[in-house]
Copies of this chain bind each other. A is one copy, B any other.
């Protein structure tokens, strides 16, 4: 078991990065918070991100010894009792472990990511104007499950390192290659440049998923529920419809993405 530091006083200044994480989530900040063992595992396996400090519930220490042994030397592992941890975090922290992390090195550009994903024959997912934290997290989770090579987000989309997006992604935002830069139009240009077929979902889509086939890797563009993608962006993309009951308005955007990515994955492996 690596060395730990007991935190007896919730106002300890070393706890600053873990303080009131739920409220500060909305304000943006340097670094990010990873919650729970599954996300911590992803963080410890990441090449793009590294932990800077941990905060662990005392009664979870023994069960976490394998994970904690992978924490790099020099990264402090703080330990608190239940009540202290809740007071620091600002809400009941059932997960028992928090890590503060930071990005290392330079984030790749959308053009670099599309080029390397295309070289692997993998689809990419492009989020345009998706501000909802849960949806962005779920899009990452589904993109990872079905082998997407990268996730691209325009700047109006939610930052993937928001606490809730990380949690809903089950930590895949710390493993998947991604970039958040530019506009939908610029991301479309990057995808085309890399040779992608560009597709969007539409209830009035020209073809079904089954008809889409497996011909060349696809860049799947996702717009916000309700508003969707702009007419300008849709112009020249292929539109795919998911067959569903006629009176139904739409699916959740991450769910729709999962259905399409799953179909592409099965087509690709046939």
Cα–Cα, bound, A170→B262 (Å): 24
Residue of B nearest to A256 (CB): B258
> Nearest Cβ in chain B — how far from A262, in angstroms?
5
Q: Which of A180-223 contact B (CB under 8 A)?
A: 208-210
A48-56, A62-70, A108-116, A143-151: which lies at the interface: A143-151
Q: Which residue of B lies closest to A266 (CB)?
A: B243
Task: Encode A244-270 as 1/0 by CB contact (under 8 A) with B.
Answer: 110011011011001100100110010
Q: Is the interface on chain A under 10, 10 to 19, 20 to 34, or 35 or more residues? A: 20 to 34
Closest residue on chain B to residue A250 by CB atoms: B145
Query: Is residue A34 within 8 Å, beta carbon to beta carbon, of the partner chain?
Result: no
Chain A 120-144 residues near chain B, CB threshold 8 A: 138, 141-142, 144
Does A224 reach chain B (CB closer than 8 Å)?
no
CB<8 Å pairs between A and B, sample of 25:
A138-B252, A138-B255, A141-B251, A141-B252, A142-B251, A142-B255, A144-B245, A145-B244, A145-B245, A145-B248, A145-B251, A146-B244, A147-B245, A208-B266, A209-B266, A210-B266, A242-B262, A243-B262, A244-B262, A251-B258, A254-B255, A255-B255, A258-B259, A259-B259, A259-B262
A→B interface (CB under 8 Å): 38, 138, 141-142, 144-147, 170, 208-210, 242-245, 248-249, 251-252, 254-255, 258-259, 262, 265-266, 269
